[in-house]
Structure 1
Amino acid sequence: MIRKRSITLHGHRTSFSVEDAFLDELKAMAAERGLSFAALVAQIDEARPLESNLSSALRLHVLRELKRQTTTSDD
């Protein structure tokens, strides 16, 4: 189920909508890196293209990371 969530990034409130599975992966990634969830989302937000929205950037980040892990584990 897609849920809308709010977060404070760089001192202002913003929202994003992602499925629960993506949210779970993002939280796990943040924990693995020793980051808060908000810090990981801020990193992704800063790196995304200007024409991209935050929700899409979060989903694509999860996809890239999981693909990278799969590729690395196949070696």
Structure 2
Amino acid sequence: MLKKRSVTLKGHATSLALEPEFWSVIDKELSVTGGSLAGLVTSIDERREPGQPLSSACRVWALNRALTAGQG
């Protein structure tokens, strides 16, 4: 089941729906770095491929983060 969270990107409110497993990776990153959800999502948004949905970019980011953490 997808869980939605609201963030503000470039002054516009948007919601992001991801599976709990992806939110878990994101939440862990935020607890380690002390960053904000809006800051992380903005960073992901700025680096995503043209035409790539934001939710997809966030999933790919979380997957890459989880894979990298598993290698350490």
Q: TM-score range by the shorter chain?
A: 0.7 to 0.9
Please give the TM-score of this superposition, normalised by the length of structure 2.
0.85
State the Cα distance separating 1:18 from its structure 2 match: 0.4
Runs of 4+ in 1 over 2 A off after TM superposition: 3-6
Alignment partner, residue 21 of structure 1: 21
Structure 1 residues without counterparts, runs of 5 or longer: none
Deviations 1:4-34 (A, max 9, x none): 3321111111222101121121111122122
Partners of 1:45 and 1:3 in 2: CA distance: 19
- Is there any run of 5+ residues in structure 2 with no aligned partner, and where? none
Which protein has the larger Cα radius of gyration, Structure 1 or Structure 2?
1
Q: Greater shift after overlay, 6-15 or 53-62? A: 6-15
Which residue of structure 1 lines up, in the alignment, with residue 11 of structure 2? 11
* Sequence identity (%): 38
Structure 1 letter corresponding to 2:69: Q
TM-score by length of 1: 0.83
Give the aligned CA root-mean-square deviation in angstroms: 1.3
Higher RCO, 1 vs 2 (CA within 8 Å, ≥6 residues apart): 2
